[in-house]
Every structure is written in C-alpha cells, then in structure tokens.
Structure 1
Amino acid sequence: MAVNCFRYLGFTSFDQVDQLTIAQYEVMMESLELKMLDQNLHEHRQAFLNFVVRAEKKTGKNRSKPVYKKFQQFFDYDAELAKVKQRRKKKQSRFSGIGKLLKKGE
C-alpha cells in the first residue's frame, strides 16, 4: 500500500500514508486506474487521428491526393468552440431561475 502511495499517488512521507484510511486508499487507486484508462483512450484516439489525417483518395490510375489539404478541414477549432459555448449557454439558462428561488427562501 505504501509503495503505491509513493509511486502513483504523489505521497512524500509516511505520515501521509498513516493518515490514509483503507476506503480512501481504494477510492484513490480506483481514480488512478480511471485516469490511466483516460490516458490510454487519449493515446489510442491520437493514433487513430494520425492514421486518418494521412488518408488519401485516388485521383487517377496511379495517383492520389490527401483528403485533408488544410488542418482546418480536419479539425475546425472555431466550429468546435462555438459548439461548446452553445452547450454552456443551454446549461446556464436551464437552471437560471433556481438561484432566484433559493435566494427568496433564505
């Protein structure tokens, strides 16, 4: 347990390990496993994108050209940013009236 705390959880002293309960340790280790899984997903997604960005389409008998000539064709940052902002606006407007009701009740 102590080795995992030092190796994976960033603990720097035995006092930190001694103050940790078994339940806390189990939650922290599960969190670490999920974090590693997320990193693994990111790496595989990156490998897939590396494959996709090199895609070519045939333009003749022995010729081909890239599917994506510009990075923006592959990933349009501005469009993705607009989607995120739009989702945030929807979430904020959905709960905007609740704050007023809670303040009245106090």
Structure 2
Amino acid sequence: MYVIETMSLYEYGVRMKAFSLKRIDGEYQDHWKAWLIARAKDTVKTGKDTVGPRYKNFRDFFDYRKALQDAGERIESAQEERLKTVARRVQEIRERRQSYGEL
C-alpha cells in the first residue's frame, strides 16, 4: 500500500529550490569541462601575428553567481504565482460561502 504524504507550500518551495540548485551545479560541472576543452583548443587572433585564448577566465565562459541569482528569481516568481493562485481560490471560497449564507 502506498502512503501519500502532503507537503506544505513552504516545503514544496524548498524542494523546488534544491532541485534548481542541483541542476545549476550540474550545469557548472558541464561548463567547467567544456571550458577546459575550449581553453585547450579555442584561440582568437589578438594582434597581427599573436593568438590568445578566447576566454581569459572561467567566469567569462560561465557566471555561476549569475546563474544562481537567476534561478533564485525564477523560484521566487513561481512561488509568488502559486501564492497568488491560492489567495484567489481562498477568496472565491469565501465569496461562495457568503453567497450561500445569504440564501
């Protein structure tokens, strides 16, 4: 027999944030590997006869802090939308109760 557990909106938000952060860490690892390969292979002409690397440091290639910030903003906006939806539903229920009470 399966037991279904309910979770609060807060717990759901925490789990979604953990999922997003885990995904970003995976992207970081993928970008790190790609950057090492690109660093070894990719060059750009910097002068008349000189050749240098396309990305001088890893942050130019993948900004981990920006990715974390963007994920946090996406999570917060999604949580706000869920909270707005819950608030609208609660308001609808209250209005229905009031209309039934008047009958």
* Bin of the TM-score, shorter chain as denominator length: 0.3 to 0.5
RCO higher in structure (CA 8 A, sep ≥6): 2
- Using structure 2 for the length normalisation, give the TM-score: 0.45
- Using structure 1 for the length normalisation, give the TM-score: 0.44
